[in-house]
Structure 1
């Protein structure tokens, strides 16, 4: 009798354990399926997000390619030309003046430097030309731009870091009559240099060409400063 009760109890226990194990197995499977589905859902969402971003970038790339093509085809050529001209990176031609300056031939005087053309003399002429509306100015072929420098070390004059020497040829594009009048204005540049015997002449031109600024000059200046 006892043995039968023990056997029945053992059987019931095994059945209960089997049911518990089965429930746990099903629960684990369901959790795994839920986790896998969640991961799949997250991966799908991430993939969709990447696809959306990719589409946006493609559209932006197409727009940039279109803009580049328009520039290459010259649709914005006039605007680009104006910007390059303003920066001094293109040759400029038109009416204007040519100014020639040379050292004085006078041998007298205790300070011979006073009879030489110095950086400040060139700067005075350039400033006067710009004040009179010059569009472009060059000194001995060196184009004057925003970062140009005219310096003097003794009798040596440097323009854009390039050594230049007398006679100095200054070319300016603009209204010739206005530029000429500005330089000959009473008490102006010509009047200030004449007493020292500095040779200065202004010639009005129907066509004058000012060359483009070259980066080579800037590199030379940087190397010498170092």
Structure 2
């Protein structure tokens, strides 16, 4: 082989070796450059996804919080309405006499006076008892009972043989009429000069009025029934 051919062969081999060495040396560098760039892109995508998830979660939390607040308002309003209805119902029962009550007031005792010499006592009538009860109502009594029987606005007083019917309960003298209200006001109203009580005393009935600091009345026990009165229809 000629000398120039040998030299050319050696030069080509050395050049190839250098090229391969340079390529191998460049591969890790390229990988090192490409790898961080790729990871940054992946991290950016992941970060964006997490940010979107966080925003969606915050929106859901706001929505749920709003619903909870709405439920709380509804419960509060419902509780307030229920409490108001309960108070009104209790007040209605009180007005109707369906609840035992207690408070200050007066005790009025009413009976026929005994006359000596066999003189018959004055016969007490239902009108006498009803008039006394009406005097108490007019004087501001808030609750009244006759011999333990609660009296309402619808309670009737009737004569029945020797008895007086208070509602449907038959009674005979003596009577204890108990009323809850301002004691002094009730007593003063009953003792007015020329008033109803003085009229009863003038026909021979004994009437005494005593103030009490604490009186307790039972609830009305009979059945409340309206056969003709119905709630009016609103237009």
Q: Structure 2-normalised TM-score?
A: 0.57
Determine the C-alpha separation between the residues in 2 that align with 1:129 and 1:162.
20
Q: Which deviations, in whole Å up to 9, do the C-alpha atoms of 1:111-162 show, x marking residues without a partner?
A: x4x7122211111111110001100111011111122111112421010111
Counterpart of 2:94 in structure 1 is 85
Counterpart of 1:141 in structure 2 is 148
Q: In the alignment, does 2:122 pair up with 1:115?
A: yes
Counterpart of 1:183 in structure 2 is 190
Counterpart of 1:209 in structure 2 is 216
Runs ≥4 in structure 1, deviation > 6 angstroms? none
Query: What's the C-alpha RMSD, in Å, of the aligned pairs?
Result: 2.8
Determine the C-alpha separation between the residues in 1 that align with 2:158 and 2:136.
18
| Partner SS for 2:108 | strand
Which sections of structure 1, spanning at least 5 residues, go unmatched? 1-65, 220-226
Deviation at 1:108, TM superposition (A): 6.5
Counterpart of 1:131 in structure 2 is 138
Counterpart of 1:198 in structure 2 is 205
Deviation at 1:74, TM superposition (A): 5.6
Counterpart of 1:156 in structure 2 is 163
Counterpart of 2:181 in structure 1 is 174
Determine the C-alpha separation between the residues in 2 that align with 1:119 and 1:109.
24
Number of equivalent positions: 151
Does the C-alpha gap of structure 1 residues 141 and 197 become closer, same or farther in structure 2, counting only changes over 3 Å?
A: same
Which sections of structure 2, spanning at least 5 residues, go unmatched? 1-74, 226-235
Q: Structure 1-normalised TM-score?
A: 0.59
Q: Which deviations, in whole Å up to 9, do the C-alpha atoms of 1:175-201 show, x marking residues without a partner?
A: 000100111001112211112321111
| Partner SS for 1:200 | strand
Greater Rg, structure 1 or structure 2? 2
Deviation at 1:70, TM superposition (A): 5.6
Counterpart of 1:105 in structure 2 is 114
Determine the C-alpha separation between the residues in 1 that align with 2:101 and 2:112.
28
